[in-house]
Amino acid sequence: MSFQRSGVLVLAGATASGKTQLAIDLAKKFDAEIVNADSRQIYAGMDIGTAAPTLAQVQEVRHHLVGFLAPDETYSAARFVIDAHAAIDTIHQRGKRAIVVGGTGFYIRALCGDMRLAPEHDEVIRARIRHESTLHEPEFLHGWLTTRDPQRAALISQSDAYRIGRALEIALSPASPQERTLPTLRQQNIAFVKIVLDVETSELDARIAKRTDAMLAAGFVEEAERIGAGVPAANAVGYPQALAYLMGAATYDELRQHLLRATRRYARRQRTWFRSEPYALWIKSGDVEAAAREFLGWT
């Protein structure tokens, strides 16, 4: 069996569910490389707030699509599909296996070929959404998105104007002939197994609290100040709260509580998304290795 035919392990889950370290452990065991599927870990200079792989972890196992984009640049699920497929193809050509890991449901579903995309934006639709955003609050636009694509809306905060606008562009765009040419795993006939890490809510909340304290101790507030407001990356979970603190809108203790609340809400939106994920297997972390062996024939 070739590495190409041995497929791709897709490892998804909520923030703080333990995906990063598990993927590294599996990569070392199966001689694999990792392709990031987190929409904020793609940005450079945001290692603390996005819990990006550390330098030591990257030295252990080769990672792709981590920290390669400036915070003021935009990125799309369609572009991710193209970039991720190129990375997977390169990995397979080197005789290695590929593990795709992340918590961005759009990216994972798009890469697998289980949702439609609009690879190129429609300027008329974009102008319409831009106009509507001047007339209505983000919550109104989120309600509009909910009527068109409730699954996508469920994962987006009602205050995240950028992602709501981008999602509306996709929801309102007619099907594009180009989307059929995107190199999804299904379109390329690459076998894969899609696993969602099954972590109890109480355990996830405890991990989020531990991570939040570690982020603050590591200099997250200073990182948010360097990133600043007004760039696409600045709407990542935690950064608006840190920037508000820097402006004097909260005490340090209130900042910690706001970070915990925002991260827990985000984790719940992720879990809501993954519950509707087509063909996904919900598995405890200790059973993922056995699943890779069973469904992909990895040895």
97-121 confidence digits (pLDDT tens):
999 999 999 999 999 998 876 555 5
Residue 174, pLDDT > 70, answer no
Residue 178, pLDDT > 60, answer no
pLDDT of residue 177: 45
Question: What 3-state DSSP class applies to 151?
Answer: helix
Residue 194: pLDDT band by 50, 70, 90 thresholds?
very high
Amino acid making up residue 241 = Q
Percent of the chain whose predicted confidence (pLDDT) is above 70: 93
Amino acid making up residue 246 = L
Query: d(Cα 154, Cα 123) in Å, to the nearest integer?
Result: 25
Of 20-24, 163-167, 178-182, 219-223, the poorest mean pLDDT is in 178-182
Query: d(Cα 104, Cα 156) in Å, to the nearest integer?
Result: 11
- Which residue, chain included where needed, has tokens 């040419």? 181
**Mind listing the pLDDT tens digit for each residue in 7-47?**
999 999 999 999 999 999 999 999 999 999 999 999 999 99
User: Maximum CA pair distance of the chain?
Assistant: 60
**Mind listing the pLDDT tens digit for each residue in 128-152?**
888 888 888 889 999 999 988 888 8
Beta bridge partners of 279: none
Contact 63, 38 (CB under 8 A): no
Q: Which DSSP symbol is given to 52?
A: P
Query: d(Cα 203, Cα 210) in Å, to the nearest integer?
Result: 11
Q: Is 134 exposed, middle or buried (0-12, 13-18, 19+ CB in 10 A)?
A: exposed
Residue 162: pLDDT band by 50, 70, 90 thresholds?
confident
pLDDT of residue 128: 86
Using a cut of 0.85, tell me whether the model's pTM lies above it.
Answer: no
Query: d(Cα 247, Cα 254) in Å, to the nearest integer?
Result: 13
Contact 38, 50 (CB under 8 A): yes
Domains and CATH numbers, the chain: 8-117+179-199+278-296 (3.40.50.300), 123-172 (no CATH), 202-270 (1.10.287.890)
**Mind listing the pLDDT tens digit for each residue in 38-81?**
999 999 999 999 999 999 999 999 999 999 999 999 898 889 99
pLDDT of residue 1: 43
Kindly report the average pLDDT of the chain as a whole number.
91
